[in-house]
Amino acid sequence: MGSEQIRRWESGALAHAVTDPFGQGPVPWLRGNVTYFDDTGQVVPWYVDGQAHPPTADTPRVPAPRSAGPRSADDVHRQIKGFTSTGAVAPGEAVDFHITVDPPQEFGVDVYRIGHYGGDGAAKITTSPRLSGIVQPPPLLADRTVSCHHWWLSWRLQIPSYWSIGAYVAVLTTADGYRSHIPFTVRDNHPADLLLLLPDVTWQAYNLYPEDGRTGASLYHAWDEDGRLLGEADAATTVSFDRPYAGAGLPLHVGHAYDFIRWAERYGYDLAYADARDLHAGHVDPTRYRGLVFPGHDEYWSTNMRRTTELARENGTSLVFLSANSLYWQVELAPSPSGVPDRLLTCRKRKGPGRPVLWREIDRPEQELIGIQYAGHVPEPHPLIVRNADHWLWEATGAHEGEEIPGLVAGEADRYFPRAPLPEHEERVLLAHSPYTDREGVVRHQETSLYRAPSGALVFASGTFAWSPALDRPGHVDARVQRATANLLDRICKRD
């Protein structure tokens, strides 16, 4: 492969940027004058937008001396990459990190917790001792499934009992200045108003690790022998949680969740945290909460996830879907080769025998739970058009009927499908109806939905990727969206 082909993947996770104009978003510990470089002297982009492309001859170059500051590790050279072999953990439990370092050298781990923290976006909680890095064995490949479950344990982090639950990121840095990331979740069973569910199942479905032009595969892509990116017909049907995330080590859609967390913690909402796999495995009882919040792109759901969420709604727990294209593919979770539960994710899509695995194609359309369902990609951001402006959701936002909120319909969109069944409801309202133009130039529309189930539970669906970023993403904040979200959560939490 030529250097241009390799360079295409070094900044990581560009393959799906067009479907998620907000991508990973900013990493809070890179604020100020800290900049990442790759080995070619290119500045590594941390805001992935819909126009993201590989570097070209016109891309500004900067010198990249070893003292220039942190540089982003990549999947071609594997300067430092890692993953956790444990799911979400409780205070008092341990997180096991498996990390490869090439060339072998010492490295350190700074652990951050995502939150508001006076606008910083995260706080450093602890730092590891200096650790000895080794070159782990190459990933194992079975069909298109890539796994690193055979990597040696590099560091075990015992979570103190006094740590706050929440979304954490381990920042790995080698002695010569390369850096990568590993996200993980700390949860417990204490009651809270809202349970935030981080979409780790969907994150893994999109993970193309290793993004090296040869080996990596996601449920969307793989490579041919010439290093060309192949589509779904040639992608993996099973992917493993036992591997790093591609590129910088953060999931592609992670920014959506972090935007909501920063905003919600700033305004003091009482949050519990869990991963989607916790919902699948029964590690959390969602009926103990006033509301479940799905803060980001949450496309892949197991039968257990759906059944548990429906049961929560029937018991009066409200549901908040802040992104679009939720509950689209049905998946299965299986143990790793060593027997650890829920380490393999399978979605057969259009391949092989058996029934289709779109929920809507097995007569269980997502609209029956969410109130609307996936309609398609939005190539360029469009305004969200307010409808039913006299509804309490829009109260004190200043929004009036037909008002346009710029750029709020972006990435992907949901709408009401008249031929798909609706959930049982006491009342139902569409709070936005927004035209946009699809890739073929056809005018389509997005909708935002709210209904009240017979149990009294509220079910809200934003119908767009741009809702969470509008809460706390620099350059995307909209006060009307912030207030509308507060109106919704205050009512769910029974705040006066």
pLDDT in the model for residue 9: 45
Higher pLDDT, 181 or 26: 181
The answer, yes or no, to whether residue 30 has pLDDT greater than 90, is no
CB atoms within 10 A of CB 143: 9
Look at the alpha carbons of 296, 167, 112, 83 in this order and tell me if their dihedral is positive or negative: negative
Mean pLDDT across 363-378: 95
Q: Give the helix/strand (H/E) hosting 152.
A: none
Mean pLDDT lowest for which of 38-52, 229-243, 295-309, 409-423? 38-52
The domain ranges of the chain are 3-63+71-240, 285-328+366-492
Give the highest mean pLDDT range of 197-206, 207-216, 346-355. Answer: 197-206
Which candidate, 410, 485, 468, 418, places its Cα nearest to that of 17? 410
Q: What is the CATH number of domain 3-63+71-240?
A: 2.60.40.1930
The answer, yes or no, to whether residue 101 has pLDDT greater than 50, is yes
If pLDDT is split at 50, 70 and 90, which confidence band does 494 have?
confident
If pLDDT is split at 50, 70 and 90, which confidence band does 481 have?
very high
The answer, yes or no, to whether residue 60 has pLDDT greater than 80, is no
- DSSP, collapsed to helix, strand or coil, labels residue 311 as helix
Average pLDDT, the chain: 87
If pLDDT is split at 50, 70 and 90, which confidence band does 197 have?
very high
- How far is residue 81's CA from residue 73's CA, in Å, rounded to a whole number? 7
Model-level pTM?
A: 0.90
pLDDT in the model for residue 390: 97
pLDDT in the model for residue 268: 94
pLDDT in the model for residue 298: 96
pLDDT in the model for residue 440: 92
Give the highest mean pLDDT range of 113-117, 333-337, 453-457. Answer: 453-457
- How far is residue 484's CA from residue 293's CA, in Å, rounded to a whole number? 15
- Per residue in 114-153, pLDDT tens? 999 888 889 999 999 999 999 999 999 998 999 999 999 9
- DSSP, collapsed to helix, strand or coil, labels residue 3 as helix
If pLDDT is split at 50, 70 and 90, which confidence band does 41 have?
low
pLDDT in the model for residue 190: 85
pLDDT in the model for residue 349: 79
The answer, yes or no, to whether residue 387 has pLDDT greater than 60, is yes
If pLDDT is split at 50, 70 and 90, which confidence band does 20 have?
low
If pLDDT is split at 50, 70 and 90, which confidence band does 23 have?
low
Which candidate, 354, 311, 296, places its Cα nearest to that of 330? 354
- How far is residue 12's CA from residue 421's CA, in Å, rounded to a whole number? 40
The answer, yes or no, to whether residue 62 has pLDDT greater than 80, is no
pLDDT in the model for residue 71: 83
pLDDT in the model for residue 8: 44
Within 281-364, strands assigned E span: 291-294, 300-302, 318-321, 329-334, 344-346
Look at the alpha carbons of 241, 52, 408, 361 in this order and tell me if their dihedral is positive or negative: negative
Within 187-328, strands assigned E span: 194-198, 222-223, 229-230, 238-240, 271-275, 291-294, 300-302, 318-321
- Percentage of the residues of the chain whose pLDDT score is greater than 70: 84
- How far is residue 182's CA from residue 177's CA, in Å, rounded to a whole number? 17
The answer, yes or no, to whether residue 213 has pLDDT greater than 90, is no
If pLDDT is split at 50, 70 and 90, which confidence band does 27 have?
low
- Per residue in 273-310, pLDDT tens? 999 999 999 999 999 999 999 999 999 999 999 999 99
If pLDDT is split at 50, 70 and 90, which confidence band does 317 have?
very high
pLDDT in the model for residue 201: 97
pLDDT in the model for residue 150: 94
Which candidate, 159, 179, 161, places its Cα nearest to that of 46? 179
pLDDT in the model for residue 231: 83
The answer, yes or no, to whether residue 187 has pLDDT greater than 60, is yes
